[in-house]
Amino acid sequence: MTATPKAAPRHMPAPAASSTAPWTDLLSTAADDCLTALLEGADRDWARPALGPDWTCRQTLDHLALGLTGYAGLLIARPQDRYITLFASLDPRAPVPACLEGLRIAASLLASTVRDTPADVRAWHPWGHSDAAGFAAMGVTELVVHTYDVTRALGLPWAPSEALGTAVLARLFPGAPSGHGPFDTLLWCTGRIPLPGMPRRTDWQWDGTVR
Protein backbone atom coordinates (compact mmCIF):
# COMPACT_ATOMS: atom_id res chain seq x y z
CA MET A 1 0.00 0.00 0.00
CA THR A 2 1.43 3.35 -1.02
CA ALA A 3 0.16 6.93 -0.84
CA THR A 4 -0.61 9.07 -3.86
CA PRO A 5 -0.78 12.87 -3.38
CA LYS A 6 -3.90 14.63 -4.64
CA ALA A 7 -1.90 17.58 -5.94
CA ALA A 8 1.61 18.30 -7.12
CA PRO A 9 4.03 18.48 -4.17
CA ARG A 10 5.35 21.77 -2.96
CA HIS A 11 9.12 21.74 -2.80
CA MET A 12 10.63 23.29 0.32
CA PRO A 13 14.03 22.57 1.84
CA ALA A 14 14.12 20.78 5.18
CA PRO A 15 14.64 23.41 7.91
CA ALA A 16 17.74 23.39 10.05
CA ALA A 17 17.34 21.84 13.49
CA SER A 18 18.07 25.16 15.24
CA SER A 19 15.64 27.21 13.15
CA THR A 20 12.06 27.54 14.39
CA ALA A 21 10.61 29.98 11.82
CA PRO A 22 10.42 27.41 8.98
CA TRP A 23 8.99 24.87 11.39
CA THR A 24 6.11 27.12 12.38
CA ASP A 25 5.29 27.47 8.67
CA LEU A 26 5.47 23.71 8.17
CA LEU A 27 3.30 23.10 11.21
CA SER A 28 0.68 25.55 9.95
CA THR A 29 0.78 23.96 6.49
CA ALA A 30 0.36 20.50 7.99
CA ALA A 31 -2.59 21.64 10.10
CA ASP A 32 -4.30 23.29 7.12
CA ASP A 33 -3.78 20.30 4.82
CA CYS A 34 -4.76 17.69 7.39
CA LEU A 35 -7.82 19.46 8.73
CA THR A 36 -9.10 20.12 5.21
CA ALA A 37 -8.73 16.43 4.38
CA LEU A 38 -10.42 15.32 7.59
CA LEU A 39 -13.30 17.75 7.12
CA GLU A 40 -14.06 16.08 3.77
CA GLY A 41 -14.98 12.95 5.70
CA ALA A 42 -16.89 14.64 8.51
CA ASP A 43 -20.17 12.95 7.53
CA ARG A 44 -18.70 9.42 7.49
CA ASP A 45 -18.59 6.77 10.21
CA TRP A 46 -15.99 7.95 12.73
CA ALA A 47 -16.71 4.99 15.02
CA ARG A 48 -14.82 2.65 12.69
CA PRO A 49 -11.24 1.67 13.58
CA ALA A 50 -8.52 3.96 12.29
CA LEU A 51 -5.62 2.35 10.48
CA GLY A 52 -2.45 2.01 12.53
CA PRO A 53 -3.30 2.50 16.23
CA ASP A 54 -5.98 0.62 18.15
CA TRP A 55 -8.35 3.58 18.20
CA THR A 56 -11.46 4.59 16.35
CA CYS A 57 -11.26 7.54 13.99
CA ARG A 58 -12.90 9.70 16.65
CA GLN A 59 -10.47 8.53 19.36
CA THR A 60 -7.60 9.40 17.04
CA LEU A 61 -8.75 13.04 17.12
CA ASP A 62 -8.56 12.95 20.92
CA HIS A 63 -5.00 11.61 20.70
CA LEU A 64 -4.07 14.44 18.34
CA ALA A 65 -5.52 17.07 20.68
CA LEU A 66 -3.58 15.59 23.59
CA GLY A 67 -0.34 15.41 21.62
CA LEU A 68 -0.36 18.87 20.08
CA THR A 69 -1.35 20.60 23.30
CA GLY A 70 1.06 18.45 25.26
CA TYR A 71 4.02 19.42 23.09
CA ALA A 72 3.21 23.09 23.63
CA GLY A 73 2.94 22.45 27.35
CA LEU A 74 6.29 20.68 27.48
CA LEU A 75 7.97 23.65 25.81
CA ILE A 76 6.32 26.03 28.27
CA ALA A 77 6.91 24.04 31.49
CA ARG A 78 10.28 22.60 30.33
CA PRO A 79 10.37 19.56 32.62
CA GLN A 80 13.48 17.43 32.50
CA ASP A 81 12.16 14.06 33.67
CA ARG A 82 8.38 13.80 33.24
CA TYR A 83 5.30 14.65 31.22
CA ILE A 84 3.21 17.69 32.13
CA THR A 85 0.06 17.46 34.27
CA LEU A 86 -2.24 19.14 31.73
CA PHE A 87 -4.19 16.74 29.51
CA ALA A 88 -6.27 18.08 26.63
CA SER A 89 -9.40 16.37 25.33
CA LEU A 90 -12.23 17.05 22.93
CA ASP A 91 -15.92 17.19 23.90
CA PRO A 92 -17.17 13.64 23.18
CA ARG A 93 -20.61 15.04 22.31
CA ALA A 94 -19.31 17.59 19.79
CA PRO A 95 -19.75 16.98 16.05
CA VAL A 96 -16.65 16.19 14.03
CA PRO A 97 -16.31 19.70 12.48
CA ALA A 98 -16.25 21.21 15.99
CA CYS A 99 -13.61 18.69 17.04
CA LEU A 100 -11.50 19.67 14.05
CA GLU A 101 -11.82 23.28 15.21
CA GLY A 102 -10.36 22.10 18.51
CA LEU A 103 -7.44 20.51 16.70
CA ARG A 104 -6.81 23.75 14.82
CA ILE A 105 -6.65 25.56 18.16
CA ALA A 106 -4.19 22.98 19.50
CA ALA A 107 -1.99 23.25 16.40
CA SER A 108 -2.02 27.05 16.62
CA LEU A 109 -1.03 26.91 20.30
CA LEU A 110 1.90 24.67 19.44
CA ALA A 111 2.99 26.87 16.52
CA SER A 112 2.91 30.04 18.60
CA THR A 113 4.77 28.34 21.45
CA VAL A 114 7.46 27.09 19.04
CA ARG A 115 7.81 30.59 17.61
CA ASP A 116 8.23 32.15 21.06
CA THR A 117 10.60 29.55 22.54
CA PRO A 118 14.33 30.39 22.52
CA ALA A 119 16.50 28.02 20.50
CA ASP A 120 18.52 26.89 23.51
CA VAL A 121 15.48 25.62 25.46
CA ARG A 122 15.23 21.85 25.97
CA ALA A 123 12.31 19.85 27.36
CA TRP A 124 11.68 16.22 28.24
CA HIS A 125 10.21 13.70 25.86
CA PRO A 126 10.43 9.90 26.30
CA TRP A 127 11.96 9.66 22.81
CA GLY A 128 14.66 12.23 23.41
CA HIS A 129 14.91 15.63 25.11
CA SER A 130 14.18 18.14 22.38
CA ASP A 131 14.07 21.78 21.34
CA ALA A 132 11.26 23.86 19.86
CA ALA A 133 11.99 22.72 16.31
CA GLY A 134 11.92 19.11 17.46
CA PHE A 135 8.53 19.48 19.09
CA ALA A 136 7.21 21.19 15.96
CA ALA A 137 8.45 18.22 13.94
CA MET A 138 6.66 15.89 16.37
CA GLY A 139 3.47 17.88 15.84
CA VAL A 140 3.79 17.65 12.07
CA THR A 141 4.40 13.91 12.33
CA GLU A 142 1.37 13.40 14.54
CA LEU A 143 -0.82 15.37 12.15
CA VAL A 144 0.20 13.71 8.90
CA VAL A 145 0.48 10.14 10.19
CA HIS A 146 -2.85 10.16 12.00
CA THR A 147 -4.58 11.97 9.16
CA TYR A 148 -3.37 9.10 7.00
CA ASP A 149 -4.82 6.63 9.52
CA VAL A 150 -8.21 8.31 9.52
CA THR A 151 -8.53 9.12 5.82
CA ARG A 152 -7.65 5.55 4.84
CA ALA A 153 -10.19 4.20 7.33
CA LEU A 154 -12.84 6.55 5.91
CA GLY A 155 -11.98 5.67 2.31
CA LEU A 156 -10.50 9.06 1.41
CA PRO A 157 -7.30 9.22 -0.70
CA TRP A 158 -4.84 11.70 0.81
CA ALA A 159 -1.12 12.35 1.21
CA PRO A 160 0.77 15.45 2.37
CA SER A 161 3.25 17.46 0.35
CA GLU A 162 6.74 16.05 -0.05
CA ALA A 163 8.10 18.98 1.97
CA LEU A 164 6.42 17.80 5.16
CA GLY A 165 7.69 14.24 4.86
CA THR A 166 11.20 15.36 3.94
CA ALA A 167 11.42 17.76 6.88
CA VAL A 168 10.27 15.36 9.59
CA LEU A 169 12.43 12.52 8.28
CA ALA A 170 15.51 14.74 8.46
CA ARG A 171 14.66 15.94 11.98
CA LEU A 172 13.24 12.87 13.72
CA PHE A 173 14.30 9.81 11.71
CA PRO A 174 18.01 10.20 10.89
CA GLY A 175 18.31 6.48 10.07
CA ALA A 176 15.43 6.43 7.57
CA PRO A 177 16.11 4.41 4.41
CA SER A 178 16.73 6.25 1.15
CA GLY A 179 15.38 5.62 -2.33
CA HIS A 180 11.67 5.95 -1.57
CA GLY A 181 9.15 8.79 -1.55
CA PRO A 182 9.29 10.85 1.65
CA PHE A 183 5.75 10.09 2.77
CA ASP A 184 6.02 6.37 2.08
CA THR A 185 9.29 6.40 4.00
CA LEU A 186 7.62 8.19 6.92
CA LEU A 187 4.79 5.66 6.89
CA TRP A 188 7.36 2.86 7.02
CA CYS A 189 9.26 4.57 9.84
CA THR A 190 6.05 4.82 11.87
CA GLY A 191 4.98 1.23 11.28
CA ARG A 192 2.18 1.85 8.79
CA ILE A 193 3.33 0.14 5.59
CA PRO A 194 6.09 -2.10 4.24
CA LEU A 195 8.60 -0.91 1.67
CA PRO A 196 10.10 -3.07 -1.08
CA GLY A 197 12.37 -5.58 0.65
CA MET A 198 11.54 -4.10 4.06
CA PRO A 199 8.64 -5.54 6.11
CA ARG A 200 6.28 -3.36 8.06
CA ARG A 201 7.81 -2.36 11.39
CA THR A 202 6.16 -3.63 14.57
CA ASP A 203 8.22 -1.47 16.92
CA TRP A 204 9.39 2.06 16.24
CA GLN A 205 10.12 5.47 17.70
CA TRP A 206 11.56 8.75 16.55
CA ASP A 207 14.70 10.47 17.88
CA GLY A 208 13.87 13.94 19.12
CA THR A 209 17.33 14.77 20.43
CA VAL A 210 19.00 17.87 19.04
CA ARG A 211 21.75 17.08 16.53
| Mean pLDDT of all residues belonging to the chain | 90
Q: Residues 8, 12, 15, CA angle at the centre, nearest 5°?
A: 150
pLDDT at 20 over 80: no
pLDDT at 176 over 50: yes
pLDDT at 16 over 90: no
pLDDT, tens digit, for every residue of 124-154? Answer: 999 999 999 999 999 999 999 999 999 999 9
19 vs 108: which has the higher pLDDT = 108
Residue 104 exposed, middle or buried by CB count within 10 Å (0-12, 13-18, 19+): middle
pLDDT, tens digit, for every residue of 29-82? Answer: 999 999 999 999 999 999 999 976 689 999 999 999 999 999 999 999 999 999
Instruction: Judge contact between 141 and 175, C-beta under 8 A.
Output: no
DSSP H helices, the chain, are 21-40, 57-77, 96-116, 132-153, 162-172, 182-189
What letters, b where the CB count within 10 A reaches 16 and e where it falls short, cover 115-150?
eebeeeebbbbeebbbbbbbbbbbbbbbbbbbbbbb
Could you tell me which residues come within 8 angstroms of residue 182 by beta carbon, excluding any fewer than 6 positions away? 162, 164, 165, 166, 169
* Beta-bridge partners for 123: 130
Name the band, by pLDDT with cuts 50, 70 and 90, for residue 211.
confident
Residue 6's pLDDT is what?
38
CA separation for the pair 78, 120 (Å, rounded) = 12
Could you tell me which residues come within 8 angstroms of residue 4 by beta carbon, excluding any fewer than 6 positions away? 157, 159
Per-residue pLDDT, averaged over 1-7, amounts to: 38
Q: Which domains does the chain have, with CATH numbers?
A: 21-189 (1.20.120.450)
